[in-house]
Amino acid sequence: MMTATRPSIFGGDEDIDLSGFEPKREPQTPPVPPETVRRVSEEGGFPSRAQKWHTLGQPPKRLTTPKTGRTVLLNARVTQRAHDRFHEIIERERLRYETGELTHRVTLGEIVERALAALEREMGQGSGAT
C-alpha cells in the first residue's frame, strides 16, 4: 500500500512500501521498423549519411586545423576600425590563398605577428623573427 504523502528525504525511519512497483516487461509501443524511419527521414529532408557517402563514393575528408604553433592567447581591446582592418587583411589573404598565390591559409595570429615585425622594423629594432 502506498502512502498518501511524500516520504521525507531527511527521515530514514519510515518504511516505504514499493511492492506496487515492478519493472516493465516489454515496451508499451512496438518499435518503429528501420525502413519506416529511413523513409520518413528522407521525406523530411534528412537523408542518411551512409547513403550520401554511397552516392559520393567515399566519406568526406575531415578538415583539420593546421598546426601553427600559436598556443598563447592575446586578448586586447581594439577599436572597431582596427578590428575591421585586421579582418579585411585576412580576407584579402584568403583570396590570395584560394587563387594559389599563397600556400597556406593566413590566420589572425599570423597577421598580428607580421604587424609586430613591421612595427619593430619601423622602430629600428629589427628583431622581428616570425
Structural domain that includes position 107: 80-118
> How many structural domains comprise the chain?
1
Q: Is residue 86 one of the residues assigned to a domain?
A: yes
DSSP state of 21: -
Contact by Cβ (8 Å): 128, 117: yes
| Distance in angstroms (rounded) separating the CA atoms of residues 117 and 123 | 10
Tens digits of residue pLDDT in 51-88: 655 556 666 666 666 677 888 888 999 999 999 999 99
Q: Is the pTM of this model over 0.75?
A: no
Question: In the chain, pLDDT over 90 holds for what percent of residues?
Answer: 38
Q: Is residue 85 one of the residues assigned to a domain?
A: yes
Q: Is residue 103 one of the residues assigned to a domain?
A: yes
pLDDT surpassing 80 at residue 7: no
C-alpha separations of 109 from 33, 68, 73, 127 in Å? 51, 9, 9, 18
Tens digits of residue pLDDT in 48-60: 776 655 556 666 6
| Distance in angstroms (rounded) separating the CA atoms of residues 107 and 90 | 7
CB atoms under 10 Å from CB of 93, counted, come to 19
